[in-house]
Structure 1
């Protein structure tokens, strides 16, 4: 069955930071304020003459980042399960407006109660969580890769690299700096993804914009990237600014772009999955997927051992400093592989 073209809108909004709170009650009030702002912006987008079928919210949008908050304190103050109280509020909006809502928040899982995950999610118009991805490439908190054996046993590959088939097409999601990891988008494309949803909380700059163009073009996917407005979450003084929410098509062209940093729902465009599929079937020079020779690179990836898997399998972390032994092993692996040189002075 053909997929009718549909509209996506980025919700570029500010986010209050719950790590400034000293109690669960204070953190909850901050989260509620962020939720209210998000819901208001979603309603504004849907009240426009060109309402979206899907909206994307920024990364950290409800809790902000933990910054230097110890893991146990962050879990107690600000984290929530999925489904849980945050997604329940969003589910009400999704059902009422008949839309898909993509977002991100810090999640706790009863299987690992002393850890939290940076989780990106998608709700459908029935209010159900149909997609959840937990950030893999991170050096700040637990990744599925840090407990890979346990995680794979619990969730399998579908839980590590999830793609969901919907009436809008096949959708995948990942946050922020993972757009700089080409392998992630590549694997999601290999699993069928046609549209990449990208909640972000990053400084707006040419590197980030270029990465988004590349991920969309090299995988022949749409990429819908919603960034935070104003100061980014990890900038304690607000000096690093967000903005640049954007939608990139499968040719790597901007079809919507916000060159400012203010709150806005103006970044909106039509998504034509049928045109994407036609481009993937084309045998001309514009079809990069057709000419991709993955067998040539398989041996290199198979032999690569850089950041160690299961590095936190035995013990969770409480602060970022607890990751030092894992990082030292990663550096040693890079030296062993010849990527880092020890015979040159920096």
Structure 2
């Protein structure tokens, strides 16, 4: 099936943090305000001269991060299911404009009511949730890896590394700091992903900016990365700024780049999936995928175990202090493997 070029737009918006709220009512007043701001910016993009087929919102756009809020309080005050009240509001916009909407929020799953996940999602033009990815690489809240046996039994491999096959191409999504974990993007590419959606909420750094170029180029994927506007969620004073939302092509070239940290829908570009597919089939030197010898690395990855799996299977965390023994075990494993000394 032919895939015509289509437009993607980064919805770079600010986010009022709900972690200072002391009641659920107060927290959801903040969340509703953030939702209204997001919807207004999506509407502006879709009624402008170059309307998108897909938009990407920042990480933590609606609730902000929990900061030091205890797990139980954060679940009761600010978390929601997917699908749920946050995605339902965005689904209305998706249906109204016939677009795909990608975003991120803290999610609670009835299977594990005493845990929450940092979840990224994609809605299709009918408003259906067609992707839900729960952050794996984190040391701040529960990861599927922390309850791996139970999680795999419930959702399988497709639920851990989901890729959606759509009329726009094959899409995957993951948030923020996971851009610096090359294995994650690689697995998504191996599962067929052609476009990596990246909701983010982080200060500008050389490491993350370089990683965005690398993840796109080394996997021959488009990357659509939307950062928060204004102060990042973990900045108590707001002095650490976000911004620099960007769209990168499969050769690592910028197609769009919003240099400022202000609210903006200016980072917008055309995505050409058929050109990407042709590039992946090319036998010239520009096709790095064709020359990659993954077989040579399999034994090293099979033997590697640093951060322990199932570390929170028996007991969920209540505060960040509960993660200290897990971190210590990871350091011990890295030392044993000869990585640390």
* Fold equivalence (TM over 0.5): yes
Instruction: Give a deviation string over 1:227-271, Cα, whole Å, max 9, x none.
Output: 000100001111211000000000000000011100000000000
Instruction: Give a deviation string over 1:95-150, Cα, whole Å, max 9, x none.
Output: 01110000000000000000000000000000000000000000000000000000
Q: Secondary structure at the match of 1:239?
A: coil
CA distance in 2, matches of 1:72, 1:191: 35
Residue in 1 aligned with 2:101?
101
CA distance in 1, matches of 2:337, 2:209: 31
TM-score by length of structure 1 reads 0.98
Counterpart mapping for 1:24-173 below 5 A? 24-173=24-173
Q: Secondary structure at the match of 1:20?
A: coil
Q: Secondary structure at the match of 2:291?
A: coil
**Superposition deviation, residue 209 in structure 1:** 1.2
Counterpart mapping for 1:320-331 below 5 A? 320-331=320-331
Residue in 2 aligned with 1:344?
none
The 10-residue stretch of structure 1 (245-254 or 205-214) with the greater mean CA deviation from structure 2: 205-214
Residue in 2 aligned with 1:20?
20
Q: Secondary structure at the match of 1:19?
A: coil
CA distance in 1, matches of 2:339, 2:262: 41
- In angstroms, what is the RMSD of aligned CA positions? 0.4
TM-score by length of structure 2 reads 1.00
Counterpart mapping for 1:308-323 below 5 A? 308-323=308-323
**Superposition deviation, residue 32 in structure 1:** 0.2
CA distance in 2, matches of 1:266, 1:217: 23
CA distance in 2, matches of 1:241, 1:192: 34
CA distance in 1, matches of 2:112, 2:273: 38
CA distance in 1, matches of 2:297, 2:145: 22
Instruction: Give a deviation string over 1:16-36, Cα, whole Å, max 9, x none.
Output: 000010100000000000000
**Superposition deviation, residue 207 in structure 1:** 1.7
2:283 corresponds to 1:283: yes
CA distance in 2, matches of 1:291, 1:301: 19
Q: Secondary structure at the match of 2:289?
A: coil
Q: Secondary structure at the match of 2:146?
A: helix
Counterpart mapping for 1:259-270 below 5 A? 259-270=259-270
CA distance in 1, matches of 2:119, 2:62: 12
**Superposition deviation, residue 204 in structure 1:** 1.5
2:280 corresponds to 1:298: no
CA distance in 2, matches of 1:237, 1:148: 36
2:227 corresponds to 1:209: no
**Superposition deviation, residue 85 in structure 1:** 0.4
**Mind listing any 5+ residue stretches in structure 2 that lack a counterpart?**
none
Question: Segments of 4+ in structure 1 off by > 4 A?
Answer: none
**Superposition deviation, residue 205 in structure 1:** 2.3
The 10-residue stretch of structure 1 (202-211 or 324-333) with the greater mean CA deviation from structure 2: 202-211
CA distance in 2, matches of 1:304, 1:204: 31
**Superposition deviation, residue 221 in structure 1:** 0.1
CA distance in 1, matches of 2:208, 2:74: 28
